Amino acid sequence: MINDTLKVFAGNSNPSLTKQICDYLKIPLGDITCKRFSDGEIYLKINENIRGVDVFIVQSTHPPADNLFELLLMIDAAKRASADRVTAVIPYFGYARQDKKDEPRVPISSKLIANLLTTAGADRILTLDLHTDQIQGFFDIPADHLYATPIIVDYLSKANLKDFTIVSPDPGGTKRARGLARRLGGLPLAVIDKRRPRPNEAYIVNVVGEVHGRNTLLVDDIIDTAGTITGAVKALKKNGAQKIYAWCTHPVLSDNAKKKLRESPIEKLFVTNTIPLSWKFNRLKVLSVAPLLGEAIRRIHANESVSSLFIE
């Protein structure tokens, strides 16, 4: 019985997604207590026997930092309870945007987080749409890096994408946008030449590609302050684009991002539930990554290939 050999546990960062994953796998959600002592320290206990069990812990590591620390404690608890294997399922891998030492006296945050997860006792990592692909190489344990592209492809394939151009909001996202354009039947591609003078600030320089008179779909991995995406919308409108849609995997939406998006002329904003979102916005469509992560968990548990899920 899969129930006896596979357990999926949720931290506090995204319990609703974990429940959806368990529903996909047709197993009960693992029983765990994660609360606070009176001074704010995290108290954690796994409330069922997991000796010799294949354990998957689902936890995104968006702020606050307690989400990351909860994950580390859950991994440690599972290892000390003699789990056969512990896989950290991280739908949104936070602290990923400092992935290189590109100026003096800065950390390589994503490498540090990879080291912390390994030291805590994780045997494997399963994550989705890392900010840069190179982060996968920071792990000294197996790391499966999935892409959310099939989710938006499945949704949009039911629509009539007439006169559409796929747009990357910066040169770094060209590979992602090209992959989506290919999977949607070979749609044209455009790229926005963006300059970033400092973190969380961007200004648009030029639009490379034909967007005049066409509908467009902006494609990005993260929307944080929404400066990049709303600046891209303005550039597309200035260059004669018609209806403008946007898609991102991780809706961080910090600072006044929601206000910017609400005031922008975006026709529809597509996001996933890697980060829980309670925002009420009539132009927002949330697509679930539970089937993708659930299938990956099933295949990893069964020692089957997950390579067919690595489609960008």
Band of residue 197 on the pLDDT scale cut at 50, 70, 90: low
pLDDT digits (tens, 9 = 90+) for 129-148: 998 888 999 999 999 999 99
Band of residue 204 on the pLDDT scale cut at 50, 70, 90: low
Q: Which residue in 158, 194, 234, 268 is the catalytic one?
A: 194
Question: Stretch 40-69: mean pLDDT, rounded?
Answer: 96
Q: How far apart are CA 168 and CA 190, in angstroms?
A: 6
**Is 1's pLDDT higher than 60?**
no
Residue 260 is among the residues annotated as catalytic for this protein: no
pLDDT digits (tens, 9 = 90+) for 230-246: 999 999 999 999 999 99
Domains of the chain as residue ranges with CATH? 2-146+290-309 (3.40.50.2020), 149-287 (3.40.50.2020)
Q: How far apart are CA 18 and CA 175, in angstroms?
A: 29
Better-scored residue on pLDDT, 232 or 195: 232
Strand, helix or coil at 46? strand
- Alpha helices by DSSP H, listed for 12-144, are 15-25, 66-80, 109-120
Quote the longest CA-to-CA distance of the chain.
61
